[in-house]
Structure 1
């Protein structure tokens, strides 16, 4: 029970930190992967503000057990919170055997232990970034526990001491860099090893600091200042804006800030609630002892295939006739699963007055979509514009939900093979529909995909060229992030790690399942990406990245989170402006 409590507390704290600093800061990270290696290691960082451990934890995938000032543990409330997230006390003034023993035990158990070798908040000449001496604790711990040290430099967090930095729309830039792991040198005597480790660590801090300054062209104001200096600075000096200009624009700024803050807060609240619900549902699905072995066999077969081979859809000669004049069509799925009800593909058909010779839009719904009523209304609007509409029941959704499960519950779980085969089902079934509609004299197609449906839509764009437009709303495009960093997938990550399924193994399927690792077959100019500015699940920067990679595509930003109705409305408006 205690272990479960700590797990829940850590995940809740991680989500809260992502929300808080996602709202207040714009965090730039260099070589994040160095802090996500396996096994125990010591994470040593410079210390310029009380926000540092929280910010660093928010960008590192693994949980960090922080060595925390013993003074904080004197207060019952803080002590409860700190112990809940596995922090432990450290006396800054003398060596504490209990602290050392705790740190070594956790490091040897494979945990990440975080500490600040400066022993407190430092800036200027007192900072190790400018050559100040290190305290010997980090090197000693690393040598005794035989674990590496990963150096970390953080710059910019000290500006959060200014209250004005927490105003909406400010998003204070913060820069973080991780260095290469420094080995513990177990073959050397203790004193010699400690001396060399400290020298390597000091050099790493100075090099990382120089790299951050050069890469991001930091100004003097960006560099570390004491908390007292930051708190004294006025907003006028920080922004270098004249008093007259502020007076004339303050009303407009306040109104925009208020609206943006409300939108961000409500979007983050909705996303967080849905993420929690998804994690609770995923907790019903566990992996077993053979999961890794099955995954390896599956990947060995998949690695031989290209995306076109993997998603090749067998012809279905009866499907064109089945479409006929009906309002829905069902047919055997080309992929057979152990759930019979999921093996029957279905699409609801909405014909315009022109019949099947008119262009047809495929509507691919979101994961665990609550209702199809909104999609039916959308289909009616498309009919008015002269388009046919085809609402596809994606795998494990709507008519394809096995008894005892929620809508879409089985589409995304820790069972990555089932996830991949579900995506494959979705792509192949739409391709079969397209082939059947070709036989019905329909030769123009459009696609509206949301979230999970957008993921399938992006994969369709990789293997199909016959699209007049492809509108992808908050699609899952960065599969690595979706699995290993997404707040909706923390239980999935827990199961994968328990089954020893690591990220490098999963990455062997990205050439088939990750849109970011592919290029579209259809003209990129026909593709519209739509990003939610406050999206916690499909980060807007990932949509921006694939927009840049799929050169010629268009990007539309909408002020909402992952879940909401404005995105569809704005997308349709944009498509109409493009004359569909």
Structure 2
């Protein structure tokens, strides 16, 4: 109740691991805007993710007026701002739980904004630094307690109010800490330790194996690799948790199994060519707004092509297909090879894709940034970008994939009418899934680069960490594996075969990817004989993969 009160307030918590913000947010039913160290915003992928969840940067070593203004504005507008008043990860005697002093910022913010402070103590998250805690069936207990709101004391002068808030906050931290220890009978091992202690020492044997020498450089290499693995796992875990949280908004109804059976009965006898058939072949009325309007586009480098999608959904915004078309030359673009940029699920911004489109223009390629179903311009009011693309509603998921593939076939068909017969695909994650399905029905590709694609629907539903909530909903609706498997020949690339030359397909896998695991990408690479596999040291999310993929395409002579 203390954490789910109405109105704006400052949530102040102790800090023992990088997992704290997410795990503290779970029991809070409202959205938290976390004040986050500015260093975390510097890696592009992580910075984009943090801004997408309304976190904002703060400099640790100096007063940051912009950060202060941002926090005060959000608090006054009735939002919750999360802050770690210790200024960083602290354990033992350095922790406020053991009596270490607080930094003054939290009290000042609360007094200026005129909002209360809700204290929070979290324990157990530091154990997640140990790789053993991530083993299958391993459960890591985490304890969280929220204290009663502390007044901002508007009747006092700022200095007096700050001292009073800090005093009461420090007392609240100690009391909550003692309460958790007593109530759950916590042992010494349950209490906060440093990340270094939890991770354990660098293994000398591993270091020697890595470096091939007897010096310490191997340990440094192992440490860098471990840090990269940890950061990748952390980002993937946070995004999986966010997706699972969003899936809570989409429970299945009591008729879901019957609806699924009717849907499968209608389409399980179809081939991919029939399932993803172009609309002309299914009696489209041929209206001008039902095809990509390639004719008559203005003489500008980037043109927006939009048309009525051949797949009608329950959401009007999603029924308008859109492609941002970057031409190699504003006037003489016909006949040039054309690239399709297919973005990831819930991609936060098209800006990076636009930059790549312009680079391909410089290489003489047209480039199409495709707004995939339920993303960007196609997001219905009240939903997050991409939220509706993957939910427990498997029928909507399948129809979204079908919609994406057919719309791509439409734009390819229109471009062929203008002399463009050479295509490339650069696709990531969800876009990679659609790109892989496109190869089941289209063959005119110079290359198809699929980065961390979802290729095995069986794994995506029943084993993926991003679909835990989906599995729960399916279980409650009595939708079992055998029923879902009846659609794999249409929606699971691993269960199909490309009609294009497999040697033109480049699979790219992240070494630390837990969402599209390397084993699944390796499996489809082996199944689609002749395809190429590139391994990159990152998780499911990150910019490194795009750069290395482009470099590999150039090395292959595709660009």
2:260 to 295, 319, 337: 295
DSSP-derived class of the 1:355 partner? coil
Segment of structure 1 superposing worse, 463-472 or 316-325: 316-325
| Per-residue deviation, residues 441-490 of structure 1 (Å, max 9, x unmatched) | 10100001100000000000111111110000000011111111111111
Decide which of 405, 417, 420 is 1:442's aligned counterpart.
420
Q: Which residue of 1 aligns with 2:148?
A: none
Q: Distance in 2 between matches of 1:57 and 1:444?
A: 48
> What is the aligned partner in structure 2 of residue 325 from structure 1?
297
Cα distance, 1:358–1:167 mapped onto 2, change above 3 Å? farther
| Deviation at residue 250 of structure 1 after TM alignment | 3.2
Residue 545 of structure 1 and its aligned partner are, at CA, apart by 0.8
For 1:418, the equivalent position in structure 2 comes to 396
Which of the residues 208, 212, 215 maps onto 1:250? 215
Matched, 1:76 2:185: yes
Give the match's secondary structure for 2:137: helix
- Structure 2 CA distance for aligned equivalents of residues 564 and 311 of structure 1: 31
Query: Offset of 1:308 from its aligned partner?
Result: 1.0
Q: For the residues of structure 2 that align with 1:321 and 1:485, how far apart are their CA atoms?
A: 41
| Cα distance change of structure 1 residues 395 and 247 upon mapping to structure 2, 3 Å threshold | closer
**Does the 8 Å CA contact 1:368/1:409 hold for their aligned counterparts?**
yes
**Residue segments in structure 2 that go unaligned for 5+ positions in a row:** 2-22, 28-124, 140-182, 191-196, 281-285
Alignment of 1:319-358 (within 5 A): 319=291, 321-326=293-298, 327-353=303-329, 354-358=332-336
Per the alignment, residue 527 of structure 1 pairs with 505
How far the C-alpha of 1:251 sits from its partner, in A, is 2.7
Q: Deviations 1:257-302 (Å, cap 9, x if unpaired)?
A: 1110110111111111111111111111110010110001111111
Deviations 1:208-257 (CA, angstroms, capped at 9, x unpaired) = xxxxxxxxxxxxxxxxxxxxxxxxxxx66x99x89xx9893433311211
Instruction: For 2:244 and 2:292, locate their aligned partners in 1 and report how far apart those are by CA, in whole Å.
Output: 40
Give the superposition deviation at 1:528. 0.4
Provide the rounded CA distance (Å) in 1 between the counterparts of 2:483 and 2:126. 29
Q: CA deviation at 1:552?
A: 0.7
The 3-state SS of whatever aligns with 2:503 is: helix
Give 2:137's aligned residue.
57
Contact 1:457 1:470 in 2 (8 A): yes
| Pairwise CA distance, 1:18 | 13
Encode CA deviations 1:382-412: one digit per residue, 9 max, x unaligned.
0011100001100000111100101000000
Q: 1:258 to 1:357 in 2, by over 3 A?
A: same
Runs of at least 4 residues off by over 6 Å: 16-21, 78-81, 163-168
Is the 1:342–1:395 contact (alpha carbons within 8 Å) kept by the matching residues of 2?
A: yes
State the match for 1:212 in structure 2. Answer: none
Distance, in Å, in 2 between the alignment partners of 1:486 and 1:431 is: 29
Q: Contact 1:496/1:502 (CA < 8 Å) preserved in 2?
A: yes
CA distance in 2, matches of 1:164, 1:246: 24
Tell me, in whole angstroms, the C-alpha distance in 1 between the residues paired with 2:407 and 2:485.
Answer: 25
Separation in 1, partners of 2:263, 2:189 = 45
Alpha-carbon spacing, 1:323–1:558, altered in 2? closer, same or farther (3 Å)? farther
Distance 1:505 1:19, change over 3 A: farther
Question: Could you tell me which of 244, 263, 269 is aligned with 2:234?
Answer: 269
Change (3 A) 1:324 1:498: same
Q: Secondary structure at the match of 1:573?
A: helix
The structure with more helix, counted as a fraction of residues: 1
Displacement after TM superposition at 1:579 (Å): 2.1
CA gap 1:388/1:75 in 2 versus in 1, 3 angstroms: closer
**After superposition, where does 1:562-577 map in structure 2 within 5 Å?**
562-577=540-555
Q: Residue 331 of structure 1: SS of its match in structure 2?
A: strand
Structure 1 SS opposite 2:186: helix
Residue in 1 that maps onto 2:458: 480
User: TM-score scaled by structure 2?
Assistant: 0.62
Change beyond 3 A, Cα 1:392–1:511: same
Cα distance change, pair 278–352 in 1 and its aligned pair in 2 (3 A): same
Tell me if the contact between 1:17 and 1:55 (Cα under 8 Å) persists in the aligned partners: no
Q: Within 2, Cα distance between the matches of 1:371 and 1:19?
A: 31
Can you list the C-alpha shifts for 1:22-69, whole angstroms capped at 9, x where unaligned? x56xxxxxxxxxxxxxxxxxxxxxxxxxx9xx855269xxxxxxxxxx
Contact map agreement 1:323 1:329 (CA 8 A) in 2: no
Measured in 2, the distance between the counterparts of 1:573 and 1:369 equals 23
Closer/same/farther in 2, CA of residues 499 and 80 from structure 1, 3 Å limit: farther
Structure 1 equivalent of residue 361 of structure 2: 383
Counterpart residue number, 1:493: 471
Deviations 1:112-155 (A, max 9, x none): xxxxxxxxxxxxxxxxxxxxxxxxxxxxxxxxxxxxxxxxxxxx
